[in-house]
């Protein structure tokens, strides 16, 4: 394992993020059209309720977009990561149970022959792994496992 694997994982995380951003932006475009149609078609209380519902949904999507932007910033930081032997943000961690990429919460990533779980640094499993070295044991969900490799 090494630089090429990490780069593939980073690319997969960027693709995950880009897909999510596109979905949110499409939804926002749809809401914008709905708002324009709402403005043209009705008046009174129904009009105000419809506009408010659209605004609430718009705000939710804006929060999601801001979160995706924050995750993009994390990925930018990971690209500058230099391995130091300890599990930190940007590490790939191979255990006797599963393989993890400490990055953003992007879920399962298949790299061809390997399956990694991209997990955010604040996730429970990442909190257990952070600071550990290869050869150390850790416990998660009542199950003990060993860290075999960190890159």
Global pTM value: 0.84
- Going edge to edge, which strands form the sheet with 143-150? 107-110, 115-120, 99-103, 92-95, 143-150, 137-140
Q: Which residue has the higher pLDDT, 136 or 84?
A: 136
Q: What digits encode the pLDDT tens for the residues 33-53?
A: 887 776 555 555 555 777 888
Instruction: Report the alpha-carbon distance of residue 27 to residue 115 in Å, rounded.
Output: 31
DSSP single-letter state for residue 23: H
């Amino acid at each position: 394992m090494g630089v090429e694997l990490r780069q593939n994982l980073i690319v997969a995380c960027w693709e995950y993020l880009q897909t999510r951003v596109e979905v949110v932006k499409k939804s926002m475009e749809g809401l914008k059209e709905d708002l324009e149609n709402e403005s043209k078609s009705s008046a009174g209380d129904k009009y105000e309720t419809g506009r408010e519902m659209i605004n609430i949904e718009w705000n939710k999507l804006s929060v999601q977009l801001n979160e995706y932007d924050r995750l993009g910033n994390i990925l930018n930081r990971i690209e500058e990561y230099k391995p130091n032997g300890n599990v930190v943000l940007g590490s790939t961690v191979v255990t006797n149970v599963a393989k993890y990429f400490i990055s953003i919460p992007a879920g399962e990533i298949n790299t061809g022959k390997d399956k990694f779980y991209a997990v955010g640094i604040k996730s429970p499993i990442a909190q257990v792994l952070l600071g550990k070295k290869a050869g150390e044991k850790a416990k998660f969900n009542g199950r003990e496992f060993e860290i075999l490799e960190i890159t």
